[in-house]
Amino acid sequence: MSLGENIKKYRLKKKLTQEQLANLLFVSSQAVSKWECNENFPDGSLLVPLANALGVSLDILFENNNICFNDAVRSVSTFLRNDKSENKFEIVRSICWHLQEALFGIHEKDSFGIREDDNDIIYKCGVGTNNNSYILKENGFTQISNGRSPYFAVFPEPKDGWAQTIEDGENVRKIFECFADIDTMKAVLFVQKAGIEYVFDKEHLCQKCEIDNSSIDRVISNLMYVKLISEIKTSIDNEEHILYTTAPSHKVISLFLMAHEFYYKGGYSTQIHCRKTPFLK
**% pLDDT > 90, the chain:** 64
Place 128 in a pLDDT band, splitting at 50, 70 and 90. low
Lowest mean pLDDT across 59-73, 114-128, 184-198, 229-243: 114-128
**% pLDDT > 70, the chain:** 91
Alpha carbons 52 and 10: distance in angstroms, whole number = 11
* 239 three-class SS: strand
Domains in the chain, CATH or no CATH each: 3-66 (1.10.260.40), 70-161+266-273 (no CATH), 170-253 (1.10.10.10)
**In this structure, is the dihedral angle defined by the CA atoms of residues 198, 202, 207 and 211, taken in order, positive or negative?**
positive
DSSP state of 40: S
Residue-wise pLDDT tens digits, 206-245: 999 999 999 999 999 999 999 999 999 988 888 889 999 9
Instruction: State residue 123's pLDDT score.
Output: 38
Question: Is 67 within 8 Å of 235 (Cβ atoms)?
Answer: no
Region of 244 please: left (phi>0), alpha (psi -120 to 50) or beta.
beta
Instruction: State residue 114's pLDDT score.
Output: 37
Question: Is 252 within 8 Å of 188 (Cβ atoms)?
Answer: yes
Average pLDDT of the chain? 88
Place 116 in a pLDDT band, splitting at 50, 70 and 90. very low
Place 190 in a pLDDT band, splitting at 50, 70 and 90. very high
Place 119 in a pLDDT band, splitting at 50, 70 and 90. very low
Residue-wise pLDDT tens digits, 46-69: 999 999 999 988 988 998 888 889
Place 169 in a pLDDT band, splitting at 50, 70 and 90. very high
Residue-wise pLDDT tens digits, 247-272: 999 999 999 999 988 988 888 888 88
